Structure 1
Amino acid sequence: MTRLMIVSFSRLVSDPRVQRQIALFADRYAVTTVGFGPRPHPGVEHVELPDGARAWPDSKEHLLTRRYRGAYWAMSAVRAAREQLADRVGTMDVVLANDTNTLPLALWLAPRRGVHADLHEYAPREKEHQRTWRWFVAPYQRWLCRTCLPSMRSITTVSPGLAREYAAQFGVEVEVVTNAAAHRDLPVRPTTAPIRLLHTGVARRNRHLEAMIEAIRGLEGHAVLDLMLMPSEPGYIEHLGALAAEVPGVALRDPVPYDRLVDTVAEYDVSLVVFPHSTFNLEHSLPNKLYEAVQGRTGVIVGPSPDMAEVVTEHGIGAVLPAADAAAMHAELAALTPERVDAWKRAADAASGALSAEHQVRTWERAIAAIAEDGGPGGLSAA
């Protein structure tokens, strides 16, 4: 049986994208997972990395002097992984490496057939809104991509915009596997007044979530908005809560476990998925919440983000705003009718199969099978 190792420096049980990989391959290959937290699936062997180990460069000296190889191998998560995996070098057939921070480790493991890279962001511009990140970490990320990506047997990422940028900057072919949710057979629930709006996600200041709150001002009785946010930056959720208290119809709702998220989204009529273009990754995002809305049979309103706009327009599942600001959102929301929202919901129902995880993961299935079935190189040299 082909031996497949799935590596991610994340908590695997709460990483939806990696969970989809594990579920897809656990019954097809002899799978070993490497990451934080407990074993993520009963059908896999698991190598648990120690809590508190860091998968981000600790050494400012290494970054300042651009000694990137040293910066990588000095990371505590990488050191722990090397210690625990030393006796497995050359024993795997395929490694599926998640994100750029696992790529040198995957090459060091020297799988017999090769490495597939799954890139969850466009890494060289992930936090480009932070000046110190642009100065010190972005060059390190470009080094990782430049030195490792050409050695990958195949590569996937989360949206067409990111795939084009990886291809343009590093000369590699990249396919797309979106963050689609698993298919659900849910009913289309009729829309009544007031129209219920939802935004879910991580509370980060560069997403300018204040605009959503301001967009509801003056729509009393017509629309209400719940924000279901995960904390990310100290004080930001509290700041949003104070703003929400001033606008009738806006409330903060406690997050729910991931396995209940689609059912929770289905309680609403429209999902607001509006991001400013404050970073390249936000501009070209195709976030989980877009696909959770489809499986929940709710409409969506998105900003002028090209990848999201393409999906929404192609399937008729919602509206694309001319700008990602409060004024554009307010105008769209004020003009909404239950009949129009019901049409979006019916379109979401029709698109739920094509926009499901089950459809998307076929690209991973083909990529890993192609590596596993090919004699390939005997091993790959680490960056």
Structure 2
Amino acid sequence: MTRILCISLSPIRRDARVLRQIGILRALGDVVTVGYGDQPDGVVEHIRVPDGSLSLPQTLGGVMKLALRRFDSVELTAPGVAYALGQLRGREFDLVVANDARVLGLAFAVAGDAPVWADMHEWAPEERTHVLSWRLLVAPFMVHLCRKYLPRAAVMTTVGGEIAKLYHRDFGVRPQVMRNAAPFEDLSPTAVQPNRIRLVHSGGAVHGRNLETMIDAVKLLDARFTLDMYLVPAADGGKYLRSLRDRAAGDPRIVFHDPVPPAMLPATLNAYDVGVFWIPPVHTNARLTLPNKLFDFVQGRLALAIGPTVEMERLVREYGLGVVSTGFDARSCADSLRSLTAEQIMAFKDASDANAERLSFEHEGAAAVAMLLPLLAAP
């Protein structure tokens, strides 16, 4: 039986893209995963990296080597990477999947003669450039990993066309685009009430995603509008989420809910009218994002309200899915919603319904299988 190794130094059970990827791989062979947290469903083995084992070389020695640009010497020394390497030594696989640049060295170290699929979830050189230490120490390391390993990958994917262009420009590779589309859900749009517009947002409570603007925008809107938020606390211990709750305090139209599992999300969203996400272009990945939640909103058969974000705006306008604000401030976001009628929102929801199959992961997954089959068939 074909043996496939899937490496993702993330909590895989909460990582929607990796879970969908595993679904593809399971149709091709037995899947062994490496990552944080409990074993994902459907894999034959999971190598659980200890939660405290970091995915980057952030020890004192590692930081010194990053500062001295001794990148080759730290590729395999991050605690999480070193642990995984120790568990994988001597094992053979027919395909190795590397999720994100930080595990490229590990993937090639264990692959041997097996092909490597490099799946870059975003633009790796600017993953966290809003953090000074990351920008000075880690970003050059990400560039090193991409420059060294991406041209050696048998296949490479990334999340959108604009980011694919950046990888080609800087590293000479031609990634295939595999968008963060959600699996198709057999749902229908729910009716829009004449005097109530139910806004909803789901995702991580992470700084930089402009979630406070959603709250401020609703406060500028009339009583027809409500906002429900399904937020996953960030690694800050929930500090940012608590600040959002404080900001919304006193407005009964804004309600916070516990997050729901990815498989349950479209059905949960289906009860609402408009999925909202206004993320400012604070860095390249934000400027070019085409996130999971956009496709979750489509599968939930919602209208969409977004900011003028390049890839998102292109998709929303192409399929007639909703409205695009002129800016990312609260007033611009509120203005894009204020004049909406129940009839207009219903038309947008119907457009999501009409395009749900076209914008589902089944289309992305079929292309990925076609990409991988020749690799597994090769001697």
Q: What's the TM-score bracket when you normalise by the shorter of the two chains?
A: over 0.9
Structure 2 counterpart of 1:66: 69
**Rounded Cα–Cα distance in structure 2 between residues aligned with 1:94 and 1:248:** 52
Amino acid at match of 1:207: R
Q: In structure 2, which of residues 238, 263, 270 is the aligned counterpart of residue 266 of structure 1?
A: 270
Identity percentage of aligned residues: 37
For 1:104, the equivalent position in structure 2 comes to 105
One-letter amino acid of the structure 2 residue matched with residue 84 of structure 1 = Q
Q: Could you tell me how far 1:263 is from its partner in structure 2?
A: 1.4
1:235 aligns with 2:239: yes
8 Å Cα contact 1:100-1:123 kept in structure 2: yes
Alignment partner, residue 206 of structure 2: 204
In 1, Cα distance between equivalents of 2:327 and 2:374: 42
Moved more, 59-68 or 49-58: 49-58
What is the CA distance between 1:162 and its match in structure 2? 1.2
For the structure 1 residues 50 and 243, does the alpha-carbon distance in structure 2 shift closer, same or farther, using more than 3 Å as the test? closer
Q: Match for 1:226: what amino acid?
A: D
Q: How does 1:1-383 map to 2 (within 5 A)?
A: 1-58=1-58, 59-88=62-91, 91-192=92-193, 193-232=195-234, 233=236, 235-247=239-251, 249-375=253-379
Q: Which moved more, 1:246-255 or 1:196-205?
A: 246-255
SS across alignment from 2:214? helix
Separation in 1, partners of 2:35, 2:309: 32
Residue identity matched to 2:46: H
Query: What are the ranges of 5 or more consecutive residues in structure 2 without an aligned counterpart?
Result: none
Q: Is 1:96–1:116's contact at 8 Å kept on the other side of the alignment?
A: yes
Do the aligned partners of residues 15 and 205 (structure 1) sit closer, same or farther apart at CA in structure 2, a change above 3 Å counting? closer
Greater shift after overlay, 51-60 or 293-302?
51-60
Output the CA distance in 1 between the equivalents of 2:88 and 2:314: 43
* CA distance in 2 between partners of 1:349 and 1:298 (Å): 8
Q: State the TM-score, normalized to the length of structure 2.
A: 0.94
Q: How far, CA to CA, are the matches of 1:314 and 1:38 in structure 2?
A: 39
Deviation at 1:246, TM superposition (A): 4.3
* Unaligned runs of at least 5 residues, structure 1: 376-383
CA deviation after TM superposition for structure 1 residue 156, in Å: 0.3
Aligned partner letter, 1:227? M
Distance 1:36 1:200 in 2: 22
Tell me, yes or no, if the aligned pair for 2:220 and 2:331 is still in contact at 8 Å.
Answer: no
TM-superposed CA distance for 1:145, in Å, is: 0.6
Tell me which stretches of 4 or more aligned residues in structure 1 moved more than 6 Å. none
Greater Cα shift, 178-187 or 25-34: 25-34
Instruction: Tell me the CA shift for residue 182 of structure 1.
Output: 0.9
Distance in 2 between residues matched to 1:248 and 1:16, nearest whole Å: 31
Cα offset for 1:247? Answer: 4.1
Larger relative contact order (Cα-Cα within 8 Å, sequence gap ≥ 6): 1
Contact (CA 8 Å) 2:230, 2:259: kept in 1 or not?
A: yes
What code does the residue aligned with 2:66 have?
L
Distance 2:171 2:289 in 1: 20
Q: Once the 2 structures are TM-superposed, how far is the Cα of residue 342 of structure 1 from its aligned partner? A: 0.2
**Aligned-pair CA distance for 1:248:** 5.3
* 2:108 aligned counterpart, secondary structure: helix
CA distances 1:104-139 after superposition (whole Å, capped 9, x unpaired):
111111343411100111111011112221111111
Local SS of the residue matching 2:65: helix
SS in 1 for 2:111: coil
| TM-score, length basis structure 1 | 0.93
Q: For residues 135 and 289 of structure 1, what CA distance do their matches in structure 2 show?
A: 31
How many residue pairs are counted as aligned between the two chains? 373
1:362/1:156 CA distance change after superposition, 3 Å: same
Q: CA 1:299/1:172 → structure 2, altered by over 3 Å: closer, same or farther?
A: same
Aligned partners of 1:204 and 1:14: how far apart in 2? Answer: 15
Residue 258 of structure 1 and its aligned partner are, at CA, apart by 2.4
Confirm or deny: 8 A CA contact 1:26 1:44 kept in the other structure: no
